[in-house]
Amino acid sequence: QALSRVTPSELAAFSTKAPDVSFEMLFGLDDRISELRSVVQLALKKSHLYASHGIRSPKGILVHGPSGTGKSKLCMALAQEMSINFIHVKATSIRSMMVGESEKAVAEIFRRARSTAPCILFIDQIDALLSQRGQGQSSEGSGDRVVSCFLTATNRKEALDKAILRPGRFDYQIHLPLPSPEMRRAIVHGLSTRMPLRLSNPFIDRLVQMTQGRSGRQCLV
């Protein structure tokens, strides 16, 4: 049965429930949504197009940017829209396991994802598993050995082992920066549609100015 409906006992610590997040809930991210859609949906649903042109489909996707910019929700919304199996893992929950157990857990997660394909495997806070050498991990560690086709997110790209960023591991990267004035305007406008009162354009302009330098999450507060 689909992992979105049944949680295997071996993966009880990880989320396999289809996330209740949609792209319509993510304001100001239209460009990133289109980018992620085109890469993942084309790779999963029309992989023959890559093969016919002698091109290998993206093997891994890294979504990175400051905290609170919507990386995790963007990935979750993709799984919800595509209605396919979904495994969501926080890398910190694996890193905290006893020595030897974390490697087994990572291998099991990828085995489950392969056995239930098509499946989106989303590992959040990937920097906790694939940190630079000298920070408690080696580029030959468990995470590196089992990296295949999956979706990851981090707000600390600079902490990742440089070997992991070579072509063939993360073939595609999507950057979510702090929202621009246009993105903040879209966020404010999107939130205002849920309010009983209509906000005036001058008031929206002021809110956009007041939220300069804030992440999308901070704009929601």
Query: Given pLDDT bands bounded at 50, 70 and 90, which one contains residue 147?
Result: very low
Q: What is the mean pLDDT of residues 136-143?
A: 41
Q: Looking at 45-49, 115-119, 147-151, 154-158, which range is the least confident one?
A: 147-151
Quick one: the chain helix, strand, coil %, rounded to 5? 45, 15, 40
DSSP letter assigned to residue 127: G
What are the counts of helices (DSSP H) followed by strands (DSSP E) for the chain? 9, 5
pLDDT at 221: 66
Q: What is the mean pLDDT of residues 206-218?
A: 92
> Could you give the residue range(s) of every CATH 3.40.50.300 domain in the chain?
9-175
The neighbouring-strand residues paired with 88 are 15, 122
Q: Looking at 19-23, 111-115, 126-130, 132-136, which range is the least confident one?
A: 132-136
pLDDT at 44: 75
Q: What is the mean pLDDT of residues 174-179?
A: 93
pLDDT at 14: 59
Pick the CATH number of 9-175 from 3.40.50.300, 3.50.50.60, 3.40.50.10860, 1.10.3720.10: 3.40.50.300
DSSP letter assigned to residue 199: P
Q: What is the mean pLDDT of residues 128-138?
A: 57
Q: What is the mean pLDDT of residues 44-50?
A: 74
pLDDT at 99: 60
pLDDT at 55: 76
Helix (H, G, I), strand (E, B) or coil at 158: helix
Q: Is the per-residue pLDDT at 18 higher than 70?
A: no
pTM for this prediction = 0.76
Q: What is the mean pLDDT of residues 171-176?
A: 88
Residues 54-107 pLDDT 10s: 777 777 889 999 999 999 899 889 888 887 778 888 888 777 665 667 778 888
DSSP letter assigned to residue 174: E
Helix (H, G, I), strand (E, B) or coil at 122: strand
Q: Looking at 12-21, 191-200, 212-221, which range is the least confident one?
A: 12-21
